[in-house]
Structure 1
Amino acid sequence: MVVMNIWLCHFGLTNFLASFQNLVNDIFADFLDIFAVVYLDDIMVFSSSQEEHVASVLQRLRDNNLFSKASSVEYLGYVVTSEVLKMNSSKVQQILNWPQPKNIKALQSFLGFAIFYCCVIENYSKKISALTSLLKKDSPFIFDEEALSQFQILKEAFTTAPILSHFNPSLPTIVDTDASDYALGAVLSEVNDSGKHPISFDSRKLLPAELNYEIHDKELLGIV
């Protein structure tokens, strides 16, 4: 009988992510939501005693034979500072280098990657309307000029995506909404001494019944 002891995760193990999340939840159980948030291998420390709590997290990792990259400032694909949030430049470059999808599976892969960062893109749902229409069942996959144009526009949008501010409850907050024939868009912003700054963007396609709304009703719906 041969007994195998796996030291590193093998590709294709579908239950690995859940198992690893359970592991880190157990390791940091007494830290969670007190001064740390852990999602898989991303650890965020929030504290007025940052150095002390970072040291506590690092020591807990050492005690359990886990290691971290000290130079990393990325959390879930975003670069986070005490004041702003923005996309990691490597993720932007990955989107820019993405080849034109040749089939539904390739398009789903691109949109699945892009939607994770939709909070930095204004009117995201409107920008991908021609692309999502290609995902309909029993419809031929024809990547026409409109789809190609939206594909390029979306990639360009990621290169010009604004840096987002963190929500500050002490500052004035503004909600702006927009609507087209088939999609809603909204942006949450705050106003400080240097002007108006976005906090997050949101958007979605209109439901069939909502397509019949007047434009002002669609914009009001964006607030909801």
Structure 2
Amino acid sequence: MLFGIKNAPAHFQRMVDTIFQEELLEGWMVKCNSGKQELLALGHKVSAFSLVIDQNKVAEVLQKPVPKNIKEIPSFLGFSNYYRKHIKTLAHITSSLYKLCSKDVVFEITKERRNSYERIRYELTNAPCLILPYFELPFKLYIDAACSKGLGEALHQSQIVDGEPREGVICHISRQLKDSDTKYGATQTEFLCLVCDPGKLNYYLKGAVF
């Protein structure tokens, strides 16, 4: 092996893929779907025009009670973060729960944290249907700079549906404010939102009209 044992895992995987190439291809064909209007994939219901949260996945989480210890918090936050594109200002909503994950913080489900937990559950069950982008059309970028909570953005696009123009959501993005960010006023925070976060939207906005 070139460059020593460090590359052993990659060489082994390549060898296995080569030996079982025919079997792997047959396995992929089993997973193929044809002639369907929509299908379930990675916790989403996917169609040619939209992306919707699979409510069967959400139902499993809704059946669980309010977290009773610190170990249950990261699991719940990780699940909600997986669907962050569907939830407006998710970082604002989860800020009080994330504080429980910090060191030297006593575990306590306060009224604020319980409200955050219930709000996330509500947002997951009532999340909007995301539309898939058409890169030939212009985008609309909305920003929400809540000085005390965080930054939020929503990428929209107007598309023709049934002969009429309709504006839909492509994705939501949000993050909490850093300690240095809290020193800015409302105007500066909005500029911060424009300067920092659109990098996460480069896939959509680079070279596009918005």
Question: Where on the TM-score scale, by shorter chain, does this alignment land: which range?
Answer: 0.7 to 0.9
Aligned to 1:220: 191
Aligned to 1:15: none
2:176 aligned partner, one-letter code: K
Pairs within 5 Å for 1:38-187: 61-62=25-26, 67-68=30-31, 70=33, 73-180=39-146, 181-187=148-154
Q: TM-score, normalised by structure 2?
A: 0.74
Aligned to 1:13: none
1:114 aligned partner, one-letter code: S
User: Is 1:199 aligned to 2:181, yes or no?
Assistant: no
2:70 aligned partner, one-letter code: I
CA distance in 2, matches of 1:77, 1:26: 27
Contact 1:177–1:220 (8 Å) recurs in 2: no
Between 213-222 and 67-76, the greater mean CA deviation after superposition: 67-76
CA distance in 1, matches of 2:23, 2:168: 38
Contact 1:190–1:197 (8 Å) recurs in 2: yes
Question: What does the per-residue CA deviation read over 1:58-100, in whole Å, with 9 as the maximum and x for residues that have no partner?
Answer: 99632x6984375892222111111011111212212322321
CA distance in 1, matches of 2:81, 2:23: 35
Structure 1: segments with no counterpart, 5+ residues: 1-17, 28-57
Q: Which has the higher helix share?
A: 2
Between 120-129 and 67-76, the greater mean CA deviation after superposition: 67-76
Note the C-alpha offset of 1:104. 1.2
How many residues are matched? 174
Between 64-73 and 157-166, the greater mean CA deviation after superposition: 64-73
Structure 2: segments with no counterpart, 5+ residues: 1-8, 197-210
